[in-house]
Amino acid sequence: MKKIFYLGYYNLPDSGTNFVLAAVNKMNYICEAVEKAGYSTEIVSASGAVEKKFCKSKKVKLTDKTTLKLFSSLPRLNRIVSFINRVTLNTKLFLYMVKNTNKDSTVMVYHSLGYMSLVKRLKKLKGFKLIIEAEEIYGDVIGDEKTSQKEYDFFKIADGFIFPTELLSEKVNTEKKPEVIIYGTYHIEKEMPKLFFDGKIHCVYAGTFDPRKGGAIASAESALFLDENYHVHILGFGNEKEKAEMLDIIDNISKKSKADITYDGLLSGKEYIKFIQSCDIGLSTQNPNAKFNDTSFPSKILSYMANGLRVVSVRIPVVEESGIGKCVYYYDEQTPENIAKAIKSIDFSEEYDSRKTIGVLDKAFICDLKTMLKGLE
């Protein structure tokens, strides 16, 4: 069985090194798909320590066909040590890949600014087949055109791609190289017991409080235009200032709104799934004018659908033109009143099976991934 190398900042939650849940969840799903396509995977990670303790080098068996290679990492003490650690980790990863790959190898890379120059050198030296998993153009997110151009230059060396949207494919893959599209993880969550039995329609926003994305505030303010038959839940995260401001907004709205509105914390795992499944409508209310909307797919939409919820979203091309576009309820202007109108337009007597849609996407992705991997051999 051929092994696929998979580079990314991956780690285990209790390892003391950098752990980004969304990236790890996506990589786990990709590894499962690779396994179902008939290959094994070795994740190679240069993730550094985030605590003041030394982390040992190790190789961990995640599943029967997926292993994780981690390198020793210095404690995170100060900027100088962190810089030395980053250089050392990248050097270890480089040497490991030089030793373990050849021109017949296939290497997938979870796109990161930190890996670009390293992967360029490895590709030139070893000549392996390179698949870039491009989640977004990071330069677009931070508003840095020079960074965006470096990313586009990096993409040119790829032999294949994994994209989150058709629009990003159109921007990047102008040479029509092999590619697959995956909007997010296609895990179908099993049904769990409900938490709410009050007869109300429960709406939930789950995500960041970052005001640049604007989703949490927009969802909260929609409660002002809903009646007593609705309950708006806000789940999410932000820095201390963002969280304090969000709590103030919710408190002020609750004093004026007929609908209930609550902040229900930052949930994860089974606790998150059980809460989400107890709701009826998932809200994806990010700022429609943000540049990143051209290239990144709102992952929360798939999370809602995987748990059986109907979804209300701002009308943006990456969603509307996607494979799940016809399953979503849209609003056009980013105002609380329009969001509320979309919420109230949902007819719960209409047939709806979002889990079935996710299942179809899952099978199609595995098939497309297998075709691409075979074609690159």
Q: Give the pLDDT of residue 49.
A: 56
Task: Please answer whether residues 47 and 56 qualify as being in contact, where contact means their C-beta atoms are separated by less than 8 angstroms.
Answer: no
Q: What is the mean pLDDT of residues 189-203?
A: 92
Task: Please answer whether residues 89 and 71 qualify as being in contact, where contact means their C-beta atoms are separated by less than 8 angstroms.
Answer: yes
Task: Please answer whether residues 170 and 134 qualify as being in contact, where contact means their C-beta atoms are separated by less than 8 angstroms.
Answer: no
Residue that wins the pLDDT comparison between 298 and 102 = 102
Asked whether the predicted pLDDT for residue 17 surpasses 50, the reply is no
Q: Give the pLDDT of residue 13.
A: 61
| Integer angstrom CA distances of residue 337 from 201, 331, 340, 341 | 17, 10, 5, 6
DSSP string, 337-359: HHHHHHHHT--TTS---HHHHHH
3-state secondary structure of 133: strand
Q: Give the pLDDT of residue 184.
A: 87
Cα dihedral 215, 219, 222, 223 sign: negative
* Strand pairing category for 58-63 and 66-70: antiparallel
The model's pLDDT over 104-152, given as tens digits with 9 standing for 90+, comes to 999 999 998 888 999 999 999 999 999 999 988 888 777 788 999 999 9
Burial 148-182, CB ≥16 within 10 A → b, else e? bebbeebbeebbbbbbbbbbbbebbbeeebbbbbb
pLDDT band at 358 (very low <50, low <70, confident <90, very high): very high
Amino acid letter for position 213: K
Q: What is the mean pLDDT of residues 29-37?
A: 95
| Integer angstrom CA distances of residue 286 from 216, 296, 319 | 8, 12, 12
Q: Give the pLDDT of residue 343.
A: 98
pLDDT band at 14 (very low <50, low <70, confident <90, very high): low
Q: What is the mean pLDDT of residues 10-17?
A: 63
The model's pLDDT over 146-158, given as tens digits with 9 standing for 90+, comes to 999 999 999 999 9
| pLDDT-above-90 percentage for the chain | 66
For residue 332, give both structure tokens.
Answer: 């056009």
Asked whether the predicted pLDDT for residue 20 surpasses 80, the reply is no
DSSP string, 8-31: S----TTSSB---HHHHHHHHHHH
Q: What is the mean pLDDT of residues 310-330?
A: 93
Q: Give the pLDDT of residue 50.
A: 57
**What's domain 201-355's architecture?**
3-Layer(aba) Sandwich (3.40)
| pLDDT-above-70 percentage for the chain | 94
Q: What angle do CA 265, 269, 270 make, to 5 degrees?
A: 95
Phi, psi for residue 150 in degrees, rounded to 5: -60, -40
Find the farthest-apart pair of alpha carbons in the chain and give their distance in angstroms, rounded. Answer: 65
pTM for the full model? Answer: 0.82
Q: What is the mean pLDDT of residues 213-229?
A: 93
Q: Give the pLDDT of residue 64.
A: 93
Residue that wins the pLDDT comparison between 160 and 26 = 160
Q: Round to whole Å and give the CA distance between 218 and 236.
A: 14
Task: Please answer whether residues 67 and 60 qualify as being in contact, where contact means their C-beta atoms are separated by less than 8 angstroms.
Answer: yes
Q: Give the pLDDT of residue 178.
A: 97
- Pick the range with the lowest mean pLDDT from 2-6, 11-15, 177-181, 362-366: 11-15
3-186+364-376 and 201-355: same fold?
Answer: yes
Domain extent listing, the chain: 3-186+364-376, 201-355
Length of the chain counted residue by residue: 377
Burial 48-84, CB ≥16 within 10 A → b, else e? bbbeeeebeeeeeeeeebbbbbbbebbbbeeeeebee
Other CB atoms closer than 10 Å to residue 360's CB: what's the count?
13
Residue that wins the pLDDT comparison between 303 and 50 = 303
Asked whether the predicted pLDDT for residue 19 surpasses 60, the reply is no
Task: Please answer whether residues 44 and 58 qualify as being in contact, where contact means their C-beta atoms are separated by less than 8 angstroms.
Answer: no
Q: How many CA atoms lie within 13 Å of 141's alpha carbon, on the beta-carbon side?
A: 11
Task: Please answer whether residues 66 and 31 qualify as being in contact, where contact means their C-beta atoms are separated by less than 8 angstroms.
Answer: yes
Asked whether the predicted pLDDT for residue 278 surpasses 60, the reply is yes
Provide the angle, in degrees to the nearest 10, between the axes of the packed helices 21-36 and 354-376. Answer: 70
Q: Give the pLDDT of residue 15.
A: 53
Mean pLDDT of the chain: 90
CATH C-level class of 3-186+364-376: alpha beta
pLDDT band at 52 (very low <50, low <70, confident <90, very high): low
